[in-house]
């Protein structure tokens, strides 16, 4: 099966041939972050490493979108939103909503967690068993489940 990085590079080539400037530039940002990882760690990135890089980039885009929204810059907010939408296509489907709540309830009951002091342990277990979980949503769900 084709690696995630190969898929991204293939999409980049397609965007170049189609003269799709936005997609080309956005995917170049992704490949440059992967290249930085390769140089910093002196190893070829695994699919998991590429996913972590893309997650980090997605989080940066979400933060930027919020800042542009607060600053009244809908033009820049739109650009960041479009970039976020494009790079999220390469991420595995994240767990959220009711499915996430059920997983959290199971973790809490299985380990007999009872109060907010256990939140770190809950989040750690969630991250280890379900790395694709939406962590910010999980945080607010844990707060509501434990209160």
List the CATH number of the domain containing 67.
1.10.1510.10
Based on the fold, state whether residues 37 and 13 are members of the same structural domain: yes
Contact 58, 50 (CB under 8 A): no
> What average pLDDT score do residues 26-45 get?
95
Note down the domain range covering 127.
Answer: 97-146
* CATH code at position 112: 1.10.10
Same domain for 111 and 40, yes or no, is no
Counted domains in the chain:
2
Whether residues 13 and 82 share a domain: the answer is yes
Highest average pLDDT, of 47-51, 66-70, 122-126, 130-134, comes from 66-70
Same domain, 72 and 21: yes
65 and 133 part of one domain: no
The reply to whether 80 and 106 lie within a common domain is no
Do 110 and 69 have their domain in common?
Answer: no
Roughly how many angstroms between the first and final C-alpha of the chain, as a whole number? Answer: 45
Containing 31, the helix (H) or strand (E) segment is helix 21-41
Tracing tokens 């893309």 back to the chain, one arrives at 54
How many whole angstroms separate alpha carbon 49 and alpha carbon 30?
A: 12
More confident residue, 136 or 79: 79
Helices and strands in the chain, H and E counts = 7, 0
Residue 74 and residue 12 in one domain: yes
In this structure, what are the phi and psi dihedrals at residue 133, rounded to the nearest 5 degrees?
Answer: -70, 145
The pLDDT score that the predictor gives to residue 87 is: 94
For 3, residues 6+ apart whose C-beta sits below 8 A from its C-beta are 47, 50
pLDDT tens-digit profile of 3-29? 889 999 999 999 999 999 999 999 999
User: For residue 39, what pLDDT is reported?
Assistant: 95
Average pLDDT over all residues of the chain: 90
How many residues does this entry show for the chain?
147
Same-domain pairing of 9 and 37: yes
CB 114 within 8 A of CB 145: no
* Domain final position from 61, 88, 115: 88
Judgement on whether residues 67 and 124 belong to the same structural domain of the protein:
no
- Could you read off the pLDDT of 104-136 as tens digits, one per residue? 888 888 888 888 888 888 888 888 888 778 888
Q: Are 111 and 125 in contact (CB under 8 A)?
A: yes
Does residue 147 carry a pLDDT above 90? no
Q: Give the residue with greater pLDDT, 144 vs 40.
A: 40
């Amino acid at each position: 099966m084709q690696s995630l990085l190969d898929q991204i590079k293939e999409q980049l080539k397609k965007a170049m041939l189609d003269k799709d400037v936005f997609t080309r530039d956005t995917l170049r940002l992704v490949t440059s972050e992967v290249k930085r990882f390769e140089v910093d760690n002196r190893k070829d990135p695994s699919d998991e490493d590429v996913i972590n890089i893309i997650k980090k980039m997605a989080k940066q885009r979400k933060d930027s979108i919020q800042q542009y929204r607060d600053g009244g810059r809908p033009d820049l907010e739109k650009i960041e939103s479009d970039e976020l939408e494009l790079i999220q296509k390469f991420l595995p489907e994240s767990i959220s909503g009711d499915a996430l709540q059920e997983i959290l309830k199971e973790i809490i009951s299985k380990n007999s967690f009872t109060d907010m002091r256990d939140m770190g342990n809950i989040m750690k277990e969630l991250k280890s068993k379900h790395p694709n979980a939406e962590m910010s949503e999980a945080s607010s769900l844990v707060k509501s489940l434990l209160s």
